Amino acid sequence: MTDRLSAAHRVRPILKLARENRAAARSQLAGLSLDEQVAAVCEAPMAWRNRVLELCPEPEAIVPRLPEAELCFTCKELGIDDSSWLLAHATEDQIIACLDLDAWQGLTPDRADLDRWLATLAEAGDSTLARAARSMDTEMLALYLRAHVAVDLKPSGDEDWQPPEGGQTLDGQFYYVARDPNEDLAVLTRLLRVLFETDYWLYFRILQSVEEEQQTELEEWALRWRTGRLEDLGFPSWDRSMQIYGYLRSDRLGDLPAEAQPIESSEWPLPVWITDLPAAADHRYSLFRAAAELTAEERARFFYAFINLANQVAVADRSDLADAETLPKAIEKAAQISSLGLEHLAQENALDLNEALRRINLQHLFRVGVHLSPDNVRPRPRESEAATASEPSPSEVSS
């Protein structure tokens, strides 16, 4: 994080210059290291990112270095349909992160968004489309195909078998037919052709899945793979995240945990570009005033622990993880609610704020703050997911 912060300080004057003198800004950007150019892109306002990329001497070398979520934000700002040149230079991890963040609606893939991303990946070229397919789990690919086509496998040894009317095939064995006769299958056919030529096993596997596997089973496994990948990016699963809203007895809100819970967190690759905590600048919140009194090592651990809490808030609140404004809003809420909990526990136990922060983890501070806050702090369940009995309500998550 120190490297990010120092790079950010160096490039901010250049970003200001880019508004006034593009030629001068281009010249100064050319003299920066790649990491500093990445900082310039990520520090730029979202509406300026494409412009800053164009000023860099080798934008294709910068794209693979962007944090995963930042690439997604940049593509969405530019317009997914116009982002093929960015995706052509993206890594497989970046591509699958874009799909995980933006091609889902709740607990299921969003067909329209998935179609849009895959069409743009196809426009980026066959090699990019192949890399994207290999980065996706087979269940997600099968769900994409199943939404558009039905698949039949020619029975072995049955010479009288006739392919379905309108069926297309690449290998003489698997035939696929559009579910909507008027639908253009150009992107889907191109995907299958690329896989047939470069990765036959994956081609065979997904067509077999479309023909044989159940929709619910495919959705369940696709969700599991996505959940695991998002956890690797620092976004815990929904049920784990909802623990921050867990029930606490009103007469025990001032109790300290039985054992001291010092700030425990280590550095991890952040999928977003963040060099400091935006809400800390004016010291409005007691949480940040207390953090300012920690040692340098403790502040570093606090930073990552707090970002983890903010991510939990974003996931628990069902926020759009592909929206660049989600994390700043989650940081604001986490700081506000945790500060209430910190102040209450410090007062009830005659502790200094920084001492209380050293003894109590951030999740517990947030939970206490939730119980001291207005009722609308808790996330409201979505109507479409109200029938999902397997997911606990906030009051069912025990302390």
Q: Distance (Å, rounded) from C-alpha 343 to C-alpha 254?
A: 10
Please report how many Cα atoms fall inside a 13 Å half-sphere around the Cα of residue 346, on the Cβ side: 19
pTM: 0.87
Alpha-carbon 163 to chain mean position: 42
Task: Provide the residue range defining the domain that includes 37.
Answer: 1-65
Task: Note the pLDDT of residue 397.
Answer: 43
Q: Distance (Å, rounded) from C-alpha 35 to C-alpha 343?
A: 40
Whether residue 219 is found in the same domain as residue 248 = no
Whether residue 113 is found in the same domain as residue 37 = no
Task: Note the pLDDT of residue 144.
Answer: 96
Whether residue 300 is found in the same domain as residue 358 = yes
Whether residue 73 is found in the same domain as residue 206 = yes
Rounded to the nearest integer, the mean pLDDT of the chain is 89
Residue 297 clears pLDDT 90, i.e. is over it: no
Task: Note the pLDDT of residue 161.
Answer: 85
Task: Note the pLDDT of residue 12.
Answer: 86
Please report how many Cα atoms fall inside a 13 Å half-sphere around the Cα of residue 148, on the Cβ side: 21
Number of domains in the chain: 3
Task: Note the pLDDT of residue 326.
Answer: 93
Q: Distance (Å, rounded) from C-alpha 95 to C-alpha 114?
A: 12
Q: Per residue in 143-154, is it b (16+ CB within 10 Å) or e — as a string?
A: bbbbbbbebbeb
Q: Which of 189, 213, 230 is the endpoint of a domain?
A: 230
Q: Which of 42, 65, 88 is the endpoint of a domain?
A: 65
Task: Note the pLDDT of residue 260.
Answer: 67
Q: Distance (Å, rounded) from C-alpha 29 to C-alpha 53?
A: 10
pLDDT in tens, 321-349: 999 999 999 999 999 999 999 999 999 99
| CA angle (310, 313, 319) in 5-degree steps | 110
Task: Note the pLDDT of residue 373.
Answer: 85
Q: Which of 65, 90, 116 is the endpoint of a domain?
A: 65
Whether residue 46 is found in the same domain as residue 88 = no
Q: How many CB atoms lie within 10 A of CB 283?
A: 12
Average pLDDT over residues 249-265: 80
Q: Distance (Å, rounded) from C-alpha 181 to C-alpha 286?
A: 62
Whether residue 218 is found in the same domain as residue 260 = no
Task: Note the pLDDT of residue 399.
Answer: 40
108: β partners: 105
Task: Note the pLDDT of residue 392.
Answer: 46
The CA–CA distances, whole Å, from 278 to 227, 282, 288 equal 28, 9, 11
Whether residue 21 is found in the same domain as residue 91 = no
- Report percent pLDDT > 70 for the chain: 92
130: its two tokens:
């192949």
**What's at 166, amino acid-wise?**
G
pLDDT in tens, 199-226: 999 999 999 999 899 999 999 999 999 9
pLDDT in tens, 13-67: 888 888 889 999 999 999 999 999 999 999 898 989 999 999 999 999 999 999 9
Whether the CB-CB separation of 42 and 67 falls below 8 Å is answered with: yes
Whether residue 72 is found in the same domain as residue 213 = yes
Residue 281 clears pLDDT 70, i.e. is over it: no
Strands 149-153 and 174-178: antiparallel
Q: 120-124, 162-166, 234-238, 252-256: which has the highest mean pLDDT?
A: 120-124
Residue 355 clears pLDDT 80, i.e. is over it: yes
More confident residue, 1 or 222: 222
Average pLDDT over residues 95-104: 96
Average pLDDT over residues 245-273: 82
Residue 389 clears pLDDT 80, i.e. is over it: no
Whether residue 74 is found in the same domain as residue 56 = no
Whether residue 89 is found in the same domain as residue 167 = yes
Whether residue 174 is found in the same domain as residue 298 = no
Confidence of residue 274 (pLDDT cuts 50, 70, 90): confident
Whether residue 222 is found in the same domain as residue 176 = yes
